[in-house]
């Protein structure tokens, strides 16, 4: 669908006019004058609850935003994605991570291929393999059960599995220790190899293309390390692959029998649901892995069926778009109040920024507005003691997504109430702030003189009126984690549709890769390079000199 430039549309212009007034709104007042704000600006779906009432938006704002989503074709594009149409236009591919979590037996054919049957055939193999490793039936070359699993992968082949294994810590197998090596920096691999025993370690080489330089080097290093301690014939007990590239897996020396396949219609950053999630299934067991898929599927069904005005991913996308586009928020902070979600902000960084960090439309014209904000974050309450200062009193308004579970998965007394109290208190403080009058009254109560009070007032005043969302679940379980990831996947999708950008490619990753190859050969070359700028030439010469010494 050829869409008009976003800012030229009547729907966008109506929002721009409306935003002119909204810039002066105070959320405190919005809450005071509207008792129905909380019930109206909250939504439940797939075991998650979203409260988006602490945004500088009212009922009219939401209507205008939903109208914009409608006119940009969000519903049609969503249906095209689920149907397997080739909506990844620059790579001419379908985008079917949703098919990875479809229940068995649902009809979906792409290019004549029965996608559902293919997906479930691989899931069946994952079940057999993971059961065997977990119950001690899969033995290392000296007859001992596996104790350590090392996932070697990077980007989408690392961030999702690592985040999910940490998030589901309470569901993990007590014997299996999970490790993730991603960085080409040898310190990453070195740290893991120092901890594991070749007799009881299983390496998963996880790479969609099986050509990614970092992963290939790490896999070769692991292979050499292993072969220094065992025979070539022992490799099949200790190395498996997850990939779409059977030939490359075979040439690496892994029997395709030990390869778990997936398909080109699974984007790297959307691949935790595929065989790339093998490490997750090993850690938590196939039953819980399936529960994660089911949680995501429940969110898919909601996204497909709920009207746009009551659709959780659509609403999250729209308030994010509003903050970015009209209230000048150039970043989005993610604050999970759950230590097990410590890698969730990093996971979302890739999901959102690699998908929507684009500057041209699907048809190649420059985008006429800002696109994806910078996504970053850290767990609460730690973040409160680090950078929340800037969020409260800095000069840039930064929206925050709070994420919390109402019930803990531990039974240590006192902690969870303290955690939730902090989470809710922060969301209230960002919204309300603290007025000059309130500061004066407080300081007067503390016995300060009038002069002292006036000196302190500017420092102790909080402007407030800072937007946030609150995402709650009962407990962090495989199902709610699945729903949470799917929520953000669909949110990202909706924003990409509104901006009309190609959310499913990542050409921006290429340039650095090509240059790194050239520099890598120069670092070991005899002649000092002259072809770069003086800074890059100088850095290469320095690194060469350090290696010679």
Minimum CB separation from ligand G6Q for residue 142, in Å? 31
CB closer to ligand G6Q out of 29 and 90: 90
Taking alpha carbons only, the member of 333, 481, 311, 315 closest to residue 401 is 333
Say which DSSP state 354 is in. I
- Please identify which of the residues 33, 257, 305, 385 carries the catalytic annotation: 385
CB closer to ligand G6Q out of 180 and 402: 180
Helix pair 312-326, 10-22: axis angle to 10 deg? 70
CB closer to ligand G6Q out of 47 and 156: 156
Q: Is 385 a catalytic residue?
A: yes
Vertex 394, ends 456 and 353: CA angle to 5°? 165
d(CA 525, CA 198): 35
Cis status of the peptide bond prior to 499, with omega within 30 of 0: no
Cβ 503 vs Cβ 492: under 8 Å = yes
Residue 498 CA, distance from chain mean position: 20
CB closer to ligand G6Q out of 38 and 507: 507
Cβ 343 vs Cβ 490: under 8 Å = no
Residue 40, helix vs strand vs coil: helix
Size of the chain, expressed as the number of residues it contains: 549
CB closer to ligand G6Q out of 78 and 269: 269
Cβ 502 vs Cβ 89: under 8 Å = yes
Q: Is 297 a catalytic residue?
A: no
State the alpha helices, DSSP H only, in 351-447: 355-356, 388-393, 415-432, 436-445
Minimum CB separation from ligand G6Q for residue 152, in Å? 10
* Tokens 């490799």 found at: 235
Tell me how crowded residue 428 is: count the other CB atoms within 10 A of its CB.
13
Tell me how crowded residue 197 is: count the other CB atoms within 10 A of its CB.
12
Half-sphere exposure of 489 (CA within 13 A, CB side): 27
Cβ 331 vs Cβ 387: under 8 Å = no
Minimum CB separation from ligand G6Q for residue 178, in Å? 18
Q: Is 410 a catalytic residue?
A: no
Minimum CB separation from ligand G6Q for residue 227, in Å? 22
Provide the binding-site residues for ligand G6Q, judged by CB under 6 A.
154-157, 207-209, 212, 215, 267-269, 354, 506
d(CA 286, CA 293): 10
- Please identify which of the residues 20, 109, 410, 513 carries the catalytic annotation: 513
- Please identify which of the residues 325, 354, 489, 522 carries the catalytic annotation: 354
CB closer to ligand G6Q out of 207 and 279: 207
* φ, ψ of residue 496 in degrees (nearest 5): -60, -40
104-110: list long-range contacts, CB under 8 Å, 24+ apart. Answer: 108/84, 109/84, 110/84, 110/265
| Pairing label, strands 48-51, 42-45 | antiparallel
In the bound complex, which residue of the shown chain has the CB atom lying closest to ligand G6Q?
155
Active site residues: 354, 385, 513
């Amino acid at each position: 669908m050829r869409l008009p430039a976003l800012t030229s549309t009547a729907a966008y212009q109506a929002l721009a006019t409306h935003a002119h007034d909204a810039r002066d709104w105070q959320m405190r007042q919005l809450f005071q004058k509207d008792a129905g704000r909380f019930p109206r600006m909250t939504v439940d779906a797939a075991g998650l609850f979203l409260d988006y009432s602490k945004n500088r938006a009212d009922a009219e704002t939401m209507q205008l935003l939903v109208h914009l989503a409608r006119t940009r074709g969000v519903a049609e594009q969503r249906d095209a994605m689920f149907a397997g149409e080739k909506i990844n236009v620059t790579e001419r591919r379908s985008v079917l991570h949703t098919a990875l979590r479809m229940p068995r037996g649902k009809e979906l054919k792409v290019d004549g291929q029965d996608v559902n049957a293919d997906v479930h055939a691989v899931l069946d193999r994952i079940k057999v393999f993971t059961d065997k490793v977990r119950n001690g039936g899969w033995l290392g070359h000296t007859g001992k059960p596996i104790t350590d699993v090392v996932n070697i992968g990077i980007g989408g082949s690392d961030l999702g599995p690592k985040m999910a294994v940490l998030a589901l810590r309470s569901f993990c197998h007590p014997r299996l220790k999970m490790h993730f090596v991603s960085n080409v920096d040898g310190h990453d691999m070195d740290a893991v190899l120092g901890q594991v025993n070749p007799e009881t370690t299983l390496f998963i080489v996880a790479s969609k293309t099986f050509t990614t330089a970092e992963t290939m080097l790490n896999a070769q290093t692991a292979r050499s390390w292993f072969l220094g301690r065992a025979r070539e014939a022992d490799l099949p007990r200790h190395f498996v692959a997850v990939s779409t590239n059977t030939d490359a897996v075979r040439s690496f020396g892994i029997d395709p029998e030990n390869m778990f396949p997936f398909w080109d219609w699974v984007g790297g950053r959307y691949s935790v649901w595929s065989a790339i999630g093998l490490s997750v299934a090993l850690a938590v067991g196939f039953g819980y892995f399936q529960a994660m898929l089911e949680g995501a599927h429940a969110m898919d069904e909601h996204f497909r069926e709920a009207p746009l005005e009551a659709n959780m991913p659509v609403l999250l996308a729209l308030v994010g778009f509003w903050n970015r586009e009209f209230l000048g928020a150039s970043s989005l902070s993610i604050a999970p109040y759950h230590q097990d979600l410590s890698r969730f902000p990093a996971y979302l960084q890739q999901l959102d920024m690699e998908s929507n960090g684009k500057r041209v439309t699907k048809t190649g014209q420059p985008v006429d507005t800002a696109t994806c904000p910078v996504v970053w974050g850290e767990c609460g309450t730690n973040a409160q003691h680090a950078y929340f200062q800037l969020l409260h009193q800095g000069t840039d308004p930064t929206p925050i997504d709070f994420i919390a579970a109402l019930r803990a998965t531990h039974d240590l007394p006192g902690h969870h109430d303290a955690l939730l109290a902090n989470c809710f208190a922060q969301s209230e403080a960002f919204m309300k702030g603290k007025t000059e009058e309130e500061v004066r009254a407080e300081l007067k109560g503390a016995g300060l003189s009038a002069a002292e009070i006036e000196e302190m007032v500017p420092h102790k005043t909080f402007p407030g009126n800072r937007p946030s969302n609150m995402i709650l679940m009962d407990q962090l379980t495989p199902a709610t984690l699945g729903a949470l990831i799917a929520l953000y996947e669909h949110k990202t999708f909706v924003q990409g549709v509104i901006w009309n950008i190609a959310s499913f490619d990542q050409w921006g990753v290429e340039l650095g890769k090509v240059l790194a190859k050239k520099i890598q050969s120069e670092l070991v070359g005899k002649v000092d390079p002259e072809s770069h700028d003086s800074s890059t030439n100088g850095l290469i010469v320095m690194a060469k000199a350090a290696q010679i010494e």
